[in-house]
């Protein structure tokens, strides 16, 4: 009983911290959006998906999702942080065949793959769950991207 309540409290605190970070970044975006020609030469983050649903999954089996992250801009894209909403969601960032540590820099047109793993057994998850992965970068028009991940844990 204590383990389940503790896990719920920890998960709630992590989700709240993520939401507060999103709100903080939202209100500070207006201070960093470039004007005129600067936007044309800035880095620009592209993420292949921002919503994914694994559907029904067993609690005992981790599931994965690969998301392409590309620099569609004209200068280096610096990915400064990748944060997950829960300890049950982890990731590795690949450029080519190599796992890269964060922070990582992508040159113009270079891409990487964000390999996400959701293990419902880590937090004793059941029923409908939503997890999030937040990518923070130096893209002046989109300093962060949130990827929402859904599942129904049996």
> How many whole angstroms separate alpha carbon 26 and alpha carbon 143?
9
> How many whole angstroms separate alpha carbon 105 and alpha carbon 101?
10
Q: What is the pTM of this model?
A: 0.76
What's the pLDDT at 6?
A: 60
**pLDDT string in tens for the chain (154-residue length):** 555 566 666 556 655 555 555 545 555 544 455 555 667 899 999 999 999 999 999 999 999 999 999 999 999 999 999 999 999 999 999 999 999 999 999 999 999 999 999 999 999 889 999 999 999 999 999 999 999 999 999 9
Q: What is the CATH number of the domain that holds 102?
A: 2.60.40.10
What's the pLDDT at 77?
A: 98
Strand-by-strand arrangement of the 98-100 sheet: 45-47, 63-71, 111-118, 89-95, 98-100
Q: Which of 89, 141, 151, 87 is nearest to 114 (CA)?
A: 89
CA angle centred on 30, ends 25 and 36, rounded to 5°: 135
What's the pLDDT at 39?
A: 73
What's the pLDDT at 10?
A: 55
Q: In the block, which residue shows the tokens 């005992």?
A: 60
State how beta strands 144-153 and 51-57 pair: parallel
Instruction: Count how many domains the chain has.
Output: 1
- In the structure encoding, which two tokens stand for residue 105, read together? 């820099």
What's the pLDDT at 130?
A: 97
What's the pLDDT at 149?
A: 98
Q: Which domain holds residue 71?
A: 2-153
β-bridge partners, 46: 70
> How many whole angstroms separate alpha carbon 11 and alpha carbon 123?
8
CB-CB contact of 137 with 143 (8 Å): yes
What's the pLDDT at 97?
A: 95
């Amino acid at each position: 009983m204590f383990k389940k309540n503790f896990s719920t409290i920890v998960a709630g605190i992590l989700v709240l911290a993520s939401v507060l970070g999103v709100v903080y970044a939202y209100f500070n975006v207006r201070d960093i959006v470039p004007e005129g020609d600067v936007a044309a030469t800035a880095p620009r983050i592209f993420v292949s998906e921002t919503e994914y649903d694994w559907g029904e999954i067993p609690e005992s089996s981790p599931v994965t999702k690969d998301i392409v992250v590309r620099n569609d801009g004209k200068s280096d894209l610096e990915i400064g942080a990748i944060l997950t909403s829960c300890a049950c969601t982890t990731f590795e960032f690949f450029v080519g065949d190599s796992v890269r540590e964060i922070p990582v820099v992508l040159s113009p047109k270079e891409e990487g793959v964000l390999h996400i793993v959701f293990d419902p057994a880590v937090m004793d998850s059941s029923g409908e769950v939503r997890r999030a992965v937040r990518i923070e970068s130096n893209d002046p028009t989109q300093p962060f991207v949130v990827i929402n991940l859904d599942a129904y844990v049996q």
